[in-house]
Amino acid sequence: MGIRGRLLLGLLAGLAAGQVQATGYFLNGAGASARGMAGAGVALAEDAMSIANNPAAAVGLSGRQWQIGSIFLHPRPKVIVGEQPQEAPPPGAIPLRPGIYSSRPEVATQAGGTFAIPFGAISWRLNERWAVGLSVYGNGGLNSTFRANAPNPNCGPGTRGEGLLCGGTLSSDIGQTFISPTVAWQPLSWLRLGLAPQIVWQSLEIQGFELLAGQSNDPDNFTNNGHDHALGYALMGGLQINILDKVQFGLVAQTKTEMDEFDDYAGLLPEQGKLDIAPYFQAGLAWDVSSRLTFAVDFQRIYFGSVSATGNDVVTGEPYGADNGPGFGWGDTKTWKFGFRYRANDDWTFRGGYADGRSQIESDEVFYNLVSGSILADRFDIGVTRRVGEKTYLDATLGYFPDQQLTGPNATLPEQEITLSLGGVAVDLGIGRRF
């Protein structure tokens, strides 16, 4: 490997060491070109980051390539709490102080409410049939922080007396980084196959949930224990098929990511602190309408229900931390992604896309998802690639998430209404080079 390859591997390792934090649990595609099409395009081989979306794409790329960049995500999560009933709350109820609460995180990877989520990839075409690569990226994460800025008159003795749940600042900070070596094979002129084992690093910090600690089988490892870390592994496989002269089909699937336990939060998450990452699949078609214009449509399904932490009901009859303890109560999600790519000339390529999905949270579960930040459904994207010089190119993508709301009752006091609100914008910037 040449010195440039070694330098790039070192840079990717540095990206892997950085913490990925955002609002939302699954990013809609990896790399600026895919995200410029709203996450569509698993049938395409665009650039080095394409191998993070479908490992089979590696053998569809020419020569050697590298790409690095970052997503700059600016979300706007809010919790809107309605008025309390006039009568005294029944025993066991947890009335929330009415008002509008906006998330204001203070973590190393954000500035002014904007999170930087770096990514990078390298790809080598070994010969006509084989290619290898390496990608490093954040698949998602959660960071919602609602700071305690006034006393809460609903709080009883023995609590901090402030914050949404009387424990001061209420926050969830989850980070994920995927490191994914890739190998791809083209056994036939119309078929590409790819495989990518994945090493996953995850971090977690939870604050402000003392009021619920009495419902845990391990209250000392329930909340306010700082950042804990876990390693895990998964496997991604994919294929791309030229089914017609101008129509390509792509399919990718990822297994459930098996994570180590978070010992410091063994009393919060099911199975003594496990936060596995849900499996998913995505299938898509790409149609070359002309030599310049391509349309893509993809379908993705994420199986949140197969993971205890995300899929267990919010009320199970078991304590927090137990094997069948409460989870987030999320359902599986389905998302349609529509995108286009227009190559205006050798120097300029334009993209656009729309993703139509649904929140994995139901309205009767909003109380248990105050800091989940995971109700995004619709997304609009535009992107551009500009070639600068013979082999270097720049990518930019702008994504817009319209404000979306989910309203439901306070599970402990049904007469009180809670609304989760989330919207935002994202900018992806990247640079790549082909050899």
Q: Are 276 and 296 in contact (CB under 8 A)?
A: no
* 171 compared with 129, residue with greater pLDDT: 129
What proportion of the chain, given as a percentage, has pLDDT over 70? 89
Per-residue pLDDT, 112: 58
Question: What band does 19 get if pLDDT is binned at 50, 70 and 90?
Answer: very low
Residue 408 above 50 pLDDT?
yes
pLDDT digits (tens, 9 = 90+) for 79-98: 888 988 888 778 778 888 88
Mean pLDDT, residues 400-426 taken together? 87
**DSSP of 151-205:** B-TT--TTS-SBSTTSSSSEEEEEEEEEEEEEEEEEEETTEEEEEEEEEEEEEEE
Phi, psi of 320 (to 5 degrees): -55, 140
For the segment 114-138, the average pLDDT, to the nearest whole number, is: 93
Whether residue 106 has pLDDT greater than 90: no
Q: Please tell me what DSSP assigns to residue 274.
A: B
| Per-residue confidence (pLDDT) for residue 111, from 0 to 100 | 54
Q: Which of 140, 145, 176 is nearest to 19 (CA)?
A: 176
Q: How confident is the model at residue 185, as a pLDDT?
A: 98
Strand partners, 336: 299, 356
| Tens of pLDDT, residues 185-231 | 999 999 999 999 999 999 988 888 888 888 899 999 999 999 999 99
What is the structure's pLDDT at 372? 67
Paired tokens of 76: 């706007």
pTM score of the predicted model: 0.89
Average pLDDT taken over every residue of the chain: 86
SS3 (DSSP) at 386: strand
Indicate whether 57 pLDDT > 70: yes
Higher per-residue confidence, 129 vs 310: 129
Answer whether residue 394 shows pLDDT above 80: yes
Contact 61, 47 (CB under 8 A): yes
Question: What would the pLDDT profile of 131-149 be if each residue is shown by its tens digit?
Answer: 999 999 987 655 777 777 7
Q: Identify the three-state secondary structure at position 96.
A: coil
pLDDT of residue 376: 63
Domains of the chain: residue spans and CATH = 3-434 (2.40.160.60)
pLDDT, residue 358, reads 73
| Phi/psi of residue 114, nearest 5 degrees | -110, 130
Round to whole Å and give the CA distance between 366 and 401. Answer: 20
DSSP state of 269: S
pLDDT digits (tens, 9 = 90+) for 274-332: 999 999 999 999 999 999 999 999 999 999 899 998 888 888 889 999 999 988 888 88
Cα angle 425, 37, 29; round to 5:
75
pLDDT of res. 10: 40
∠ at Cα 45 (41, 49), nearest 5°?
85
Burial class (CB in 10 A: 0-12, 13-18, 19+), 403: exposed
What b/e readout covers 148-164, taking b as 16+ CB neighbours within 10 angstroms? beeebebbeeebbbbbb
The Cα 256–Cα 235 span in angstroms is 8
Q: How far does Cα 261 stand from its chain's mean position?
A: 20
Tell me what the mean pLDDT of segment 239-247 comes to: 95
| Residue 106 CA: distances (Å) to CA of 12, 103, 143, 345 | 25, 10, 10, 44
Average pLDDT over residues 238-252: 96
Question: Above 60 in pLDDT, residue 17?
Answer: no
What is the spatial distance between Cα 21 and Cα 89, in angstroms, rounded to a whole number? 37
List of residues 6+ apart from 348 with CB closer than 8 A: 384, 385, 386, 387
Q: What is the pLDDT of residue 329?
A: 83
